[in-house]
Amino acid sequence: MIALLKRDLALAVRAGGGFGLGLAFFLIVIVLVPLGVGPEAALLTLIAPGMLWVAALLAALLSLDRIFALDFEDGSLPLLATSPLPLEGVALMKGVAHWATTGLPLTLAAPALGFLLNLSSTAYVWLFVSLAIGTPALSMIGTFGAALTVGLRRGGLLMSLLVLPLYVPTLIFGAEAVRRGADGLSTTTPLLMLAGITLGSFALLPFAASAALRVNLR
């Protein structure tokens, strides 16, 4: 499983769907928001928690179709399905690799870009913590969506329609944690909910993803 993780990390970077693409998209969205809503500092401070989380969510969504597509196209996926490694483990490693090449860079970069939206100084640490807890769930949910649509024509659009509603709870609690941190309120409840979503995703979705892969590979 470790060898598969290393392989996926290398492929993600070489294929251009890893660090650079997600970060560039995230930066563009954050830069465009003040241009669209205006330079009013109070308004930007108000919408900053939600917009930073929306931008991170969309950046994570951008590379989901590559999770299984490259392996499917070159014939590696059927070989993985018949290897001694269980498909549940394959799906889990795919999700971890996606988070390491997309979610982790976004988590590290988001606090550095918060000043573009006039994010409250007290919210920076909570933005980092909420993204660190919540982005793994985005990757694992996306892995499930990618497994459902692997091999389909224009599967990326269908996958987005399937995955985005599943992202809503993570988005709500992530933005709420940052908002409460900015207001000096307790962030315990939204962070615990985020942690529950992430743990539940990693406990259940590898099995769901493996079942979807078995159906699509028949």
pTM score over 0.85: yes
Residue 104 has pLDDT above 60, yes or no: yes
How would you write the chain as a 3-class SS string?
A: CHHHHHHHHHHHHHCCCCHHHHHHHHHHHHHHHHHHHCCCHHHHHHHHHHHHHHHHHHHHHHCCCHHHHHHHHCCHHHHHHHCCCCHHHHHHHHHHHHHHHHHHHHHHHHHHHHHHHCCCHHHHHHHHHHHHHHHHHHHHHHHHHHHHHCCCCCHHHHHHHHHHHHHHHHHHHHHHHHHHHHHCCCCHHHHHHHHHHHHHHHHHHHHHHHHHHHHHCC
Averaged confidence pLDDT in the chain? 87
Per-residue pLDDT, averaged over 110-122, amounts to: 89
The confidence score (pLDDT) of residue 16 equals 54
Residue 55 has pLDDT above 80, yes or no: yes
Percent of the chain with pLDDT over 70: 92
